[in-house]
A and B are shown apart, each in its own frame.
Chain A
Amino acid sequence: MTTIASRIDGAPHVTFRKVQKTYDGENLIVRDLNLDIRRGEFLTLLGPSGSGKTTCLMMLAGFETPTSGEIRLGDKVINTVPPHKRNIGMVFQNYALFPHMTVSENLRFPLAIRKLPAAEIDKKVARALDMVQLGSFGDRYPQQMSGGQQQRVALARALVFDPELVLMDEPLGALDKQLREHMQIELKHIHEKLGITIVFVTHDQSEALTMSDRIAVFNQGIIQQLDDPTALYEKPANNFVANFIGENNALPGYVESVHGETCQVKLDNGARVQASLGNPVKRGDRTMLSVRPECVQLNVQSLGCANRLGGYVREVIYLGDHLRVRVELAGRKEIIVKAPAAQHKHRFDMGDAIHVGINPEQLRALDPAIGAPGAAP
């Protein structure tokens, strides 16, 4: 299988097979990593701090060696290839721009190592600087630039030697919110333009949702779910993902019966509801129902819903475009509801009785054992 062929038949660019990693011989930081990264995709590794994202990236870059398993680049096993021979671009969290070199010297560095002719180096450096809109900054030292500018230089440096794969470890972490959002879009455009494969690490879920083709959600050294942003948000595979991505209301209960794709669940507070199956659950199983706050309807809007529950308003927070309502259901169970402000202005107040409606498609029955802390994969 050649590289060309793999490009055509869509064979993965990077493959992790049964990769494990431990630093101390006791705790597995990466437990059983199986991951195919497609050529040209923007894949994000998302997960809480300490979940092993950086470790995975470092293994791919060659700075850490897997304890077992294999990593392939195209069809070549690269476990033993030293990092400087992997031809993988990398953007570090704190940029790691060489402080004793100017911006253009930083960019020339990888090209000079590759012994390119001077004229070509100049051309590539100029092109890379233009790409990140820093054409006139070549003579500056990194310390003379703002964080966002340094970030772009780091990006240009990782791209200037035309790697097919670029790794980024929380590259936007040090930027302020506005700049970060701007850079996310810019990064996405550069990715589309160059058609390279990007593996991006972050623990910011909105960043992951904004940029990625696919997202791998990490926890405790295993991938909890690998999916595109929509699926990840709308169809979380387990409790961990449901809670980690976006806001989630969890309602515990027992499965009373299963009918194809839906099931009937008796909540702990006694109410009976219809839910769609997230994980395979059986009759009598304990389940955790998951619903997004914006999928819960209030009062009039709840009329058409299959599941209707009664409750009391405990808190209303006005947030401009929407209201954030805390509703107490029977059994002291509280859920958060995001209601469009335009529909509900002044319709209810604290302490009012209220109707809550949830459609079964948006109420997913999940197996609480899957993805829970300490659970087996």
Chain B
Amino acid sequence: MREDNAMTQLTATLPRGMAAEAAVPLKTQLRRAERMKKLKYGALIAPLVVFLLFTFVWPITALLKRSVDNPEIVAAFPATSGLLRDWDGRSLPSDAVFASFADEMGKTRGTPVFASAAKRLNMELPGFRTLMMKTARAMPPTDGQTAREAFVAADERWGDVATWQYLGRNASPTTARYLLASVDRKYDDAGHVVQTDADEAIYVAVLKRTFGMSAVVTVFCLLLGFPLAYLMATQPARIANVLMIFVLLPFWTSILVRVAAWLVLLQSEGLVNQALRAVGLIEKPLQLVFNSTGVYIAMVHILLPFMILPMYSVMKGISPAYVRAAVSLGCPPFKSFWKVYFPQALPGVGAGGLLVFILCMGYYITPALLGSPKEQMASYFVAFYTNQTINWGMAAALSAILFAATLVLYMVYSRLVGRQELAAKAR
């Protein structure tokens, strides 16, 4: 009886024990196998990841940081900046602030750190640099004079709250100033965000122009590229390959060479004008370059492959049977194309359009060489600020706005395509 009991207990516990024994090694085995696989894949893409980190992620992050960076004042006057951050900004700061500012000014006077802080403040309020230089010479205060008296004696503007507000607003290591400026906004004396004066407000117009020109180029690329992509996707391989070579041909020469070639072709004594005049279509040469016409022609030419290739790859996957099916159901050919083929080609159109639009927004060389000042796009100003005035803040802020626009566009696109795919895929 007892033995029986023991037996049943034994058999009852046996499977559980066995299962546990079997499960643990199996799981670890699986994990080990998976880990090996992951490591292998990881090792394969590691060089690329490192490369991208150094050439892409890091520079972009650094750039974005630059657009809100405000290091000069904090670097030159760390203690004063600290005190100013706690200041309410309504009445003149306390004596402690005056004292620390006088002290730090005396210490940094004449150093490059001081100079860049003065330059930075001059950006906020023209004339501030002179004020700083003048004041620094009077520092540290002479005996028996309080720091406050010394400042007001050096320049009476130090007795004004507004002067301190400029200092106070820049006492923190970050600022929205550049970002605001690149959408034509600024801080007024009271620290509110207001519109920039009409004569200085150019960036909204520039950004609008950038988007507008990109849109026009994209539309032209779409109109010219769609039929060609369709032709390539539907023709037998032999013809499609020849067409493909022509599409890719522009990629084989540098963009600068192509722009120069357009310059030669389009100028008033260029081939195009000569030909038109020889045929008798025009009397005097057309202005084809150094205006928007030239920019559009060259940009469409350069960006067309980027439109065609994604569309082609999508169209290649659409079986001609769909249009046939639509026709067999009684739908006239063109309508069939529009109702059945086009919706399926849409992801390609979207991808191509997005690619062209985004590339367009960053275009610099082509408008710079073939356009007039009226065709310059945002990246021209980025280059201007980086190369000529060395205003990293503005350059970074304009870039950040282009970057944000790109991200928004991409998200809209992936939403649209994602929804389409979601609808098409298993629920």
Contact = CB atoms under 8 A, between A and B. Distances in A.
Asked if A and B are interacting partners, one says yes
Interface stretch (A82-90, A185-193, A238-246, A247-255): A82-90
A113 B343 contact: no
Interface in B379-427: 420, 423-427
Interface in A65-100: 82-85, 87-90, 92-94, 96-100
Contacts of A90: 324-325, 328-329
A71 to B, nearest CB: 16
B314 to A, nearest CB: 13
B166 to A, nearest CB: 59
Nearest to A142: B424
A157 interface: yes
A89 B328 contact: yes
A88 B327 CA distance: 10
A323 interface: no
A110 B426 contact: no
A141 interface: yes
B18 to A, nearest CB: 39
Interface stretch (B23-31, B150-158, B298-306, B330-338): B330-338
A32 to B, nearest CB: 26
Contacts of B426: 143-144
A323 to B, nearest CB: 46
Given A99-B344, A109-B326, A84 B332 contact: yes
A98 B322 contact: yes
A306 B155 CA distance: 137
Contacts of B131: none
A348 interface: no
A94 B331 CA distance: 20
B372 interface: no
Interface in A129-187: 141, 143-144, 157-158, 161
Given A143-B425, A144-B427, A61 B328 contact: yes
Contact of B328 (A88, A93, A141, A144): A88
Contacts of B327: 63, 83-84
A84 B424 contact: no
B321 interface: yes
A94 B324 CA distance: 12
A114 interface: yes
Given A84-B330, A84-B331, A84-B333, A100 B427 contact: no
Contacts of A93: 321
Contacts of A100: 343-344, 420, 423-424
B341 to A, nearest CB: 10
A84 B420 CA distance: 29
B330 to A, nearest CB: 5
Contacts of A113: 329-331, 335
A196 B162 CA distance: 92
A84 B333 CA distance: 8
B355 interface: no
Interface in B260-319: 319
Contacts of A157: 329
B326 A143 contact: no
A141 B339 CA distance: 16
Interface string B75-86: 000000000000
B344 A84 contact: no
Interface string A196-240: 000000000000000000000000000000000000000000000
Contacts of A143: 424-426
A143 B424 CA distance: 7
A72 B332 CA distance: 21
A63 B324 contact: yes
Given A87-B330, A100-B420, A143-B425, 9 more contacts: A83-B328, A84-B333, A85-B330, A97-B325, A109-B339, A113-B335, A141-B425, A144-B425, A161-B329
Interface of A: 61, 63, 82-85, 87-90, 92-94, 96-100, 109-110, 113-114, 141, 143-144, 157-158, 161
Interface of B: 319, 321-322, 324-333, 335-336, 339-340, 343-344, 420, 423-427
25 contacts: A61-B328, A63-B324, A83-B324, A84-B327, A84-B329, A84-B330, A85-B330, A90-B328, A90-B329, A92-B321, A93-B321, A94-B319, A96-B325, A98-B325, A98-B326, A100-B343, A100-B424, A109-B331, A109-B339, A110-B330, A113-B329, A144-B426, A158-B329, A161-B329, A161-B330
A-B pairs with the 4 shortest C-beta distances? Answer: A110-B329, A96-B325, A90-B328, A96-B321
